Amino acid sequence: MSAFLLSFVVIFIAELGDKSQLMAMTFATRYRFWTVIAAISAATAVVHLLSVALGSIVGLALPTGPIAVLAGIAFIAFGLWTLRGDELSADDESRAQRSTRSAFVAVTIAFFLAELGDKTMLATVTLATTHGWFGTWLGSTVGMVAADALAIGVGALLGRTLPERVIRIGAACLFFAFGAWLLFEGFQITMG
């Protein structure tokens, strides 16, 4: 349960202002809300399952102390990445606008490709090195879908009136806090 809750919170925060969240909002202007959410859920479940598998393998191969230190450094890097912000590239924008055989397939493929190597995927790998694979997978998947659903809903209701800069800074601060906590924990394990 702790792996689920931690993964949910971390990935929910990581997804705020992320390019895939922007893609979700773009898709929602073109396709039905439930189609977009279902496609995002399918793509996210597969990407995060791969991420958890990779993280579990790394977690078994390395001792806990160094993993916690590396995870702390990674979360601080995610905080810096979040401060920098994400924007849709021309390719991402065209994928979000193009329609293929069906809306579900188009959104699933575009979202899957957008998530490969993204900070939420890397954060999931990092979490899976020290936490249970199932809780991490389920929490990260639900957290990401919840953040995207929130963005689609808020975007539809309020337009783009939320200050993106404030969201980015808040999310980065939370990453820094998680990173500091993991560094402290890792050094404690290594030194203790």
pLDDT at 159: 47
The dihedral built from the CA positions of residue 47, 1, 83 and 169, taken in this order, carries a sign that is positive
Cβ-count burial 98-129 (b if 16+ within 10 Å, e if not): eeeeebbebbbebbbbbbeebbbbbbbbbbbb
pLDDT at 90: 66
Residue 108, SS3 per DSSP = helix
Side-chain-side CA neighbours of residue 100 (13 Å): 10
Cβ pair 41, 147 in contact under 8 A: no
pLDDT at 165: 73
User: What Å distances lie between residue 172 and 30, 72, 104, CA to CA?
Assistant: 30, 13, 32
Q: State pLDDT tens for residues 3-62.
A: 899 999 989 988 887 777 777 877 777 778 888 899 999 999 999 999 999 888 877 776
Among 16-30, 119-133, 176-190, whose mean pLDDT is lowest?
A: 16-30
Q: What number is the average pLDDT over the span 106-113?
A: 82
**pTM given for the model:** 0.67
| Summary count for the chain: helices (H), strands (E) | 9, 0
pLDDT at 160: 53
pLDDT at 100: 45
Where are the chain's structural domains?
Answer: 2-191
Mean pLDDT of the chain: 79
pLDDT at 49: 95
